[in-house]
């Protein structure tokens, strides 16, 4: 039977299950060798923090049981990757990149898919013939911290479409829509034609949405482009770039925006949409 659904019918449960499966396939599950002492320290601190909250805030059994039911639902909806990436990852990213001298990082999020098609710069991202939105030329240069170009660098780029949906996480979208791996030009420069992504709400019809509603929060992420930039003998940088003027730059639900990562698109000289320039500086490998 042909699947005739389109991206607007995406559900939190389907997106969550896909994100969970992708994480399991990533090879990162259980990959780290973590000592008993370290597990004891971290687990004890988390459990103590929860118990301290219970005691200080006089948590009732009704509230405790609501939490238990919600935690069960998070697992059933496959939304642990979403929950952790939205509310926790920004702190892990801060710790991971606190000693960098080059470009700042940001969260990866739950919608990364490895092995996107390779397209040499200059290039246009895979997209539908009638891809909605404003055309955007994204260009820049990849260098080391001394300012020397890195001709062997590559850029993995992915982002939501003009409706706020990601390929492979919503029905009806081509597999690699708005995703590619782009080796830079010999002088370290890159030129990528794409469409400016839209702000979007994280899925709200699942467990994470239930938390957002119960807490009276909003679910919005500002529009952003995801990137992984790498080069031999240099540290990979995972980051996101945002757009000036976005309504949720200052209150991103994922707390991932940094001032240095905000772009200011300008009209293209040929009147074919907008353009932005952003240079990446990679730290040497440790």
Q: Mind listing the pLDDT tens digit for each residue in 220-275? A: 999 999 999 999 999 999 999 999 999 999 999 999 999 999 999 999 988 889 99
> Residue 2: pLDDT band by 50, 70, 90 thresholds?
very low
- With a threshold of 0.85, does the pTM exceed it? yes
Question: Domain for residue 75, yes or no?
Answer: yes
* Distance separating alpha carbons of residues 70 and 54, to the nearest angstrom: 16
pLDDT band at 1 (very low <50, low <70, confident <90, very high): very low
CB 247 within 8 A of CB 255: no
63-100 residue pLDDT tens: 999 999 999 999 998 899 899 999 999 999 999 999 99
In angstroms, the CA 43 to CA 52 distance is 14
The answer to whether residues 201 and 252 touch, using CB atoms and an 8 Å cutoff, is no
DSSP H or E run through 72: helix 61-76
Mean of per-residue pLDDT scores for the chain: 92
Is residue 154 one of the residues assigned to a domain?
A: yes
In a domain, 269, yes or no: yes
Residue 167: the pLDDT is 96
- CATH number at 202 reads 2.60.130.10
In a domain, residue 48? The reply is yes
Is position 1 within any domain? no
pLDDT of residue 4: 53
Q: Higher pLDDT residue, 1 or 169?
A: 169
3 falls within a domain: no
Q: Which residue has the tokens 């009704």?
A: 62
95 occurs within a structural domain: yes
- What residues contact 263, with CB distance under 8 A and at least 6 apart? 241, 242, 243, 244, 276, 278
CA 266 to chain CA centroid, Å, is: 24
Residue 180, beta-bridge partner list? 157
Domain range enclosing 245: 8-286
For residue 276, list its beta bridge partners: 138
Cα 41–Cα 43–Cα 46 angle in degrees, nearest 5? 105
Q: Is the peptide bond before 122 cis (omega within 30 degrees of 0)?
A: yes
User: What is the model's pLDDT at position 115?
Assistant: 95
Mean pLDDT (whole number) for 190-210: 94
Question: Exposed, middle or buried, 87 (CB in 10 Å: 0-12/13-18/19+)?
Answer: middle
pLDDT of residue 34: 84
In angstroms, the first-to-last Cα distance of the chain is: 52
Between 29 and 215, where is the model more confident? 215
Q: What is the pLDDT of residue 33?
A: 80
Residue 2 lies in a domain: no
pLDDT digits (tens, 9 = 90+) for 99-147: 999 999 999 999 999 999 999 999 999 999 999 999 999 999 999 999 9
Q: How many independent structural domains does the chain possess?
A: 1
Kindly tell me the sign of the dihedral angle through the C-alpha atoms of 77, 80, 85, 87.
Answer: positive
């Amino acid at each position: 039977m042909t699947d005739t659904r389109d991206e607007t019918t995406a559900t939190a449960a389907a997106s969550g299950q896909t994100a969970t499966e992708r994480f399991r396939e990533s090879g990162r599950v259980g990959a780290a060798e973590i000592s008993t002492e370290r597990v004891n320290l971290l687990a004890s601190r988390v459990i103590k923090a929860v118990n301290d909250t219970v005691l200080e805030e006089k948590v009732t059994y009704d509230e405790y049981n609501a939490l238990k039911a919600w935690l069960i639902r998070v697992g059933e909806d496959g939304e642990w990757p979403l929950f952790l990436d939205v509310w926790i990852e920004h702190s892990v990213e801060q710790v991971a990149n606190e000693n960098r001298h080059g470009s700042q990082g940001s969260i990866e999020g739950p919608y990364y898919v490895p092995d996107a098609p390779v397209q040499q710069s200059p290039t246009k991202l895979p997209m539908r013939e009638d891809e909605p939105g404003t055309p955007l030329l994204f260009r820049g240069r990849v260098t080391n911290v001394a300012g020397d170009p890195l001709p062997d660098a590559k850029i993995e780029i992915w982002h939501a479409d003009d409706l706020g949906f990601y390929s492979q996480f919503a029905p009806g979208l081509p597999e690699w829509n708005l995703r590619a791996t782009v080796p830079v030009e010999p002088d370290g420069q890159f030129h990528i034609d794409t469409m400016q992504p839209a702000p979007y709400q994280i899925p709200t019809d699942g467990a994470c949405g239930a938390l957002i509603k119960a807490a009276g929060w909003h679910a919005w992420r500002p529009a952003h482009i995801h990137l992984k930039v790498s080069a031999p003998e240099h540290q990979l940088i995972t980051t996101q770039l945002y757009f000036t003027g976005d309504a949720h730059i200052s209150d991103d639900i994922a707390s991932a925006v940094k001032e240095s990562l905000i772009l200011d698109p300008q009209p293209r000289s040929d009147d074919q949409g907008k353009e932005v320039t952003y240079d990446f500086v990679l730290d040497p490998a440790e």
